[in-house]
Amino acid sequence: MPKPCRTARAPSSSSSKPAWRPEPKVNAIAPLHADRLLPDTGEPGFGIYVHWPFCAAKCPYCDFNSHVRHQPVDQLRFTAAFFKEMETMRRLSGPKTVTSIFLGGGTPSLMDPATVSAILDGIARHWHVPDGIEITMEANPSSVEATRFRGYRAAGVNRVSLGVQALNDTDLRFLGRLHDVADALKAIKLARDIFPRMSFDLIYARPNQTREAWEAELRQAVSYAVDHLSLYQLTIEEGTPFYGLHKAGKLVVPDDDLSADLYQATQEITESFGMPAYEVSNHAKPGAESRHNLTYWRYGDYAGIGPGAHGRLTRGGSKIATATERRPETWLEQVEAQGHGMVDQEILGSDEQADELLLMGLRLREGVDLARWQQLSGRDPDPVREQTLLEHGFIERIGNSRLRCTPSGMLILDAVVADLAC
């Protein structure tokens, strides 16, 4: 049986110093972002994604845009570049009200709190940032980074997403993580005490993992009073060290049947603890869903800022797909020279937008808004294909307005999307 789909991280010193300097102050927008978030309206929203591309070490399974530098990163210079690229993105997006901010990577928790504060201030200068929006930061649970949590909270971050990945030390070493279980539990407790909302990631379908072992680990995870979990199957991505080991037969992952069994166990346990899947790999208590990721899956607009960031911006009736230079130092030089690091700006046609809407929306338990898809595609779903998928129990209608995958359909999501998009 097919696996379910998985979810879309030191420059030299500048001769001319940037005008901005970090100061140990509370971010100007921090008091606005109290513990209570604005309610989810169900609308796609407008998000800001900022990519910090640096990591302390490169994990062997990771194909994100992340880079290790053995000299300190010039945070002043990168922050000044973020400001410049914000200006360009603001011109492309026009005036917008921000519904979520996400600091991803890489490892954003390697940034100084003053850097985070400055980035959030920069966003507030370029777009309208209302009271009560979600501001998420990815973090690794090493003890050194965890000590910075209070500084990030003071800067305005009100949700943290921890890259825990496993709750046993043997598998953490296998995954190339720098923390152990004790570090992870300490970081989880600290994050729970400091941030209004907290999530953490786990990777399952690891080599030699049984259903019984995964069930025990997952029950342990949901016992830590979290309201959101991201649970991904280990995927062997081309270009990673794991890919070479897997191709050579030195790394064996669970077969499709066991992977599907582990996926089913994941759904059953999280559902029983009141954290059902609202997306193929993400689970939350009602109301605790990631607002920023919902913007992606509902096919909203978002500005992507930083090395390797992607964006979707609607302007003048057109949807523009943006992508920036991946290599941090090259991105930095381009931004300093021309005000942005974009290497691609593609105007998406209606058919391309319809396909992306379907691809993203069918990941969600709430499904796809059919009227919006029909408006973009100019047609109804193929009745024969839809009926076949309905008869096999892979999709279902929600009234006349929405279409979604069933739990069985989630297991073959790529095939369902391909069928409906034809």
Tens of pLDDT along 294-341? 999 999 999 999 999 999 999 887 899 999 999 999 999 999 999 999
Q: What pLDDT was estimated at residue 35?
A: 66
Q: Which DSSP symbol is given to 108? A: G
pLDDT category of residue 12 using cuts at 50, 70 and 90: very low
Average pLDDT over residues 126-130: 97
Average pLDDT over residues 387-394: 94
Rounded CA separation 235/148 (Å) = 31
Q: Which has the minimum average pLDDT: 256-265, 290-299, 377-386?
A: 377-386
CATH 1.10.10 fits 351-421, yes or no: yes
pLDDT category of residue 30 using cuts at 50, 70 and 90: very low
How big is the chain, counted in residues?
Answer: 422
Q: Which has the minimum average pLDDT: 28-42, 218-232, 390-404?
A: 28-42
Q: Please give the residue that has the higher pLDDT: either 56 or 78.
A: 78
CA distances (Å), origin 176, targets 212, 250, 283, 364: 24, 16, 25, 30
Average pLDDT over residues 113-139: 96
Q: What pLDDT was estimated at residue 24?
A: 37
Rounded CA separation 93/329 (Å) = 25
Q: What pLDDT was estimated at residue 25?
A: 42
Q: What pLDDT was estimated at residue 226?
A: 82
Q: Please give the residue that has the higher pLDDT: either 382 or 204.
A: 204
Non-local (6+) Cβ contacts of 144 within 8 A are none
Domain boundaries, the chain: 46-296, 351-421
Asked whether the predicted pLDDT for residue 189 surpasses 90, the reply is yes
Residue 163: strand, helix, or coil:
strand
Domain 46-296, CATH number (from 3.40.50.300, 3.40.720.10, 3.20.20.70, 3.40.50.150): 3.20.20.70
Query: Where does 248-341 show beta strands of DSSP type E?
Result: 277-279, 282-284, 301-305, 310-315, 318-324
pLDDT category of residue 175 using cuts at 50, 70 and 90: very high
What is the residue-averaged pLDDT of the chain?
89
- Strand 159-165's sheet: what is its strand order? 277-279, 282-284, 228-233, 197-204, 159-165, 134-139, 100-105, 46-52, 301-305, 310-315, 318-324, 342-348
Q: What pLDDT was estimated at residue 360?
A: 95
Q: Please give the residue that has the higher pLDDT: either 2 or 219.
A: 219
Q: What pLDDT was estimated at residue 233?
A: 95
Q: What pLDDT was estimated at residue 145?
A: 73
Q: Do domains 46-296 and 351-421 have the same CATH topology?
A: no
Q: What pLDDT was estimated at residue 380?
A: 87
User: Percent of the chain, pLDDT > 70?
Assistant: 91
Contact predicate 266/410, CB 8 Å: no
Asked whether the predicted pLDDT for residue 20 surpasses 70, the reply is no
Q: Please give the residue that has the higher pLDDT: either 172 or 421.
A: 172
